[in-house]
Each structure stands twice: as structure tokens, then as C-alpha cells.
Chain A
Amino acid sequence: EIVLTQSPGTLSLSPGERATLSCRASQTVSDSYLAWYQQKPGQAPRLLIFGASTRATGIPDRFSDSGSGTDFTLTISRLEPEDAAVYFCQQSENSPYTFGQGTKLEIK
């Protein structure tokens, strides 16, 4: 199965700054087959971006992604306090459709 490794484990930034979250795959994943989710404590995950930079309904353009092959990045520009959460990547290149272990984003 494809293993997704996210870094850093925790990221602590101030409002207005830019966050860069990494997701590395153990084998090649098409950029159409990678997605990002946000999860806040006690809530289900929320889809942010999928299928080659398509933002899910209601997701602001402060959220963007990039990358190809085995290295992918989620960028959150102009951080807001409500962006504090754990962020996961997921691949759909091969079944089982695995998730990364998550990056915790703290807003100072």
C-alpha cells in the first residue's frame, strides 16, 4: 500500500503568516489522486482540496495545493485563528486509499 508521510508533525505560526504543509508518498501518485482534509477536535474531517487543485465547496482561496510525483504541498496563506486544526492528505491512486498521519497547525 502507499504510505503517506506528512511533515512537520506540528507547525506553530501567527495570524497572517503562510503555512506550508508537506505530504510525501512512498510511490508515485498522480496529482489528480491526492486530497487534503482539515479536522478540528471532536469533529469529522472536512474536505479542502482534491483532484488537481479543486477546492471543495466553501473553501476559501487562501487554501491551495501543489506538487507531483511523490511530493505534495498544502499552502494556507494569510492564516486565521480558525485555521488551527490537524491537516491530513489522502491518496486515491491505489486501494487501500491511505491517509497521512497528519500535521497539527497551531495559531499563536
Chain B
Amino acid sequence: QVQLVQSRAEVKRPGASVKVSCKATGYTFTSYALHWVRQAPGQRLEWMGWILPINGNTEYSQKFHDRVTFGMDTSANTAYMELSSLGSEDTAIYFCARSVFYLSAFVSYWGQGTQVTVSS
């Protein structure tokens, strides 16, 4: 069955960077887009962007485009999200999620989420 397993929770200082991984199993990694979505406490879900594992193409939300980088290792069926210049407003649960079909913006499988806490 399809599973997305994310890396463990992180605590970071303001100004630091964080890298979250997402290992996919149960499907052909290159056949679906992988999205990154975050959820801050009491806030709505926030779409950060996506990566297409078949060719590495990315699209970033304008809000994050100068601070976020998506990457992947197709040999390990793993995607990565790195967010830099962290501030307290970046404290959130970060999810990776697989698209319903190749280029869909809708997602049908989610990782368990990675809590990122930014605190001095």
C-alpha cells in the first residue's frame, strides 16, 4: 500500500534551516507529483509547492520561493524539503503528500507530518 514516511520532529533556532525528508513506498515514485503542505497552530493548511520526481521540476508558492528548496533522490524514493531563514512563524507541522494523479494539485496520500518548532 502507498505510504509516505517523514523524518522526525525538529527544533531549530531562529535564522537556521531545516530539512525534512519523505520516503515513498507502494507506488512508482516518478509517476506522481509530491506536494509539501504545512499547518501552523490554529491556521489553515498552506500549500508550499510541489516537485515532479520524473524530471525534478518544481513549483513553489510565491510566499516561500526565496526560502524553500525541494529535492529528491529517485534511487531512494525520497523527497526533501529545505526551508531556510526560519522564524517563529515557521513553527508548524510539515506534510508531504502525493497527488491524486500525475499533475494534480489534489493529494490523496499524506505523510504523518513532521513537527518543526522554531524557538530561541
Contacts and interface: CB of A to CB of B under 8 A. Distances in A.
A92 B104 contact: yes
Interface string A48-68: 001100001100000000000
Contacts of B108: 47, 56-57
Contact of A99 (B44, B62, B112, B113): B44
Contacts of B80: none
Given A44-B113, A45-B45, A102-B44, A96 B61 contact: yes
B44 to A, nearest CB: 5
A97 B105 contact: yes
A38 B111 CA distance: 15
A88 interface: yes
Interface residues of B, number: 20
Given A44-B110, A51-B106, A88 B45 contact: yes
Interface string B89-104: 0000001010010001
Given A57-B108, A90-B106, A95-B59, A50 B100 contact: yes
Contacts of A45: 45, 95, 110
Nearest to B110: A44
Contacts of B62: 96
11 contacts: A37-B45, A44-B95, A44-B111, A50-B100, A88-B44, A88-B45, A92-B104, A95-B61, A95-B105, A97-B105, A100-B44
Interface of A: 33, 35, 37, 44-47, 50-51, 56-57, 88, 90, 92, 95-102
Given A44-B112, A47-B108, A90-B47, 13 more contacts: A44-B95, A50-B100, A51-B100, A51-B106, A57-B108, A88-B45, A90-B45, A90-B105, A90-B106, A96-B63, A97-B105, A99-B44, A101-B44
